[in-house]
């Protein structure tokens, strides 16, 4: 697999472009790393902030999707056990499956949205740090 060149950020203007050029990531693999090379920050701070920006820029919602999947399975099982007393027909299986898939998709989308919000917050915080 060919990896593309890293995203190098050397100025505050390029940092702002990071938000504008953000694309939704559905899986966390084979991405170009974000490398900060800001003169206003130490080498260690550049590495720390690079790590933070990479985490949020490439947030894919996988963890949140898995959590929602787990919760949906538990809720479906409880519903089938307590309410239906395990007297299931085909429509219960179909609706349960649709519910579980829907909750998983909802979890993934919420993870992607949370990553975007955290990315914006991190860029704003970093911008304020640079201005000081």
Closest CA to 18 of 35, 1, 39: 35
Burial 14-35 (b: 16+ CB within 10 A, else e): ebeebeeebeebeeeeebebbb
Phi/psi at 39 (5° precision) = -65, -25
- Percent of the chain exceeding pLDDT 70 equals 90
**pTM for the structure as a whole:** 0.81
pLDDT digits (tens, 9 = 90+) for 43-58: 999 999 999 999 998 8
The predicted pLDDT at position 30 comes to 67
Question: How do the domains of the chain map onto residue ranges?
Answer: 45-132
CB 108 within 8 A of CB 64: yes
Query: So what's the pLDDT on residue 1?
Result: 45
Look at residue 108 and tell me whether its pLDDT is greater than 50.
Answer: yes
């Amino acid at each position: 697999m060919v990896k593309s060149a890293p995203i190098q950020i050397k100025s505050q203007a390029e940092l702002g472009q990071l938000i504008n050029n953000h694309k939704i990531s559905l899986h966390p693999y084979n991405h170009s790393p974000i490398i900060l090379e800001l003169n206003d920050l130490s080498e260690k701070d550049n590495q720390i902030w690079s790590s933070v920006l990479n985490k949020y820029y490439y947030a894919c919602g996988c963890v949140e999707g898995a959590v929602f999947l787990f919760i949906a399975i538990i809720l479906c099982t409880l519903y089938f056990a307590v309410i239906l007393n395990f007297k299931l027909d085909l429509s219960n299986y179909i609706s349960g499956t649709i519910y579980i898939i829907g909750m998983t998709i909802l979890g993934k989308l919420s993870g992607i949205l949370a990553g975007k919000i955290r990315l914006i917050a991190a860029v704003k915080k970093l911008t304020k740090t640079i201005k000081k």
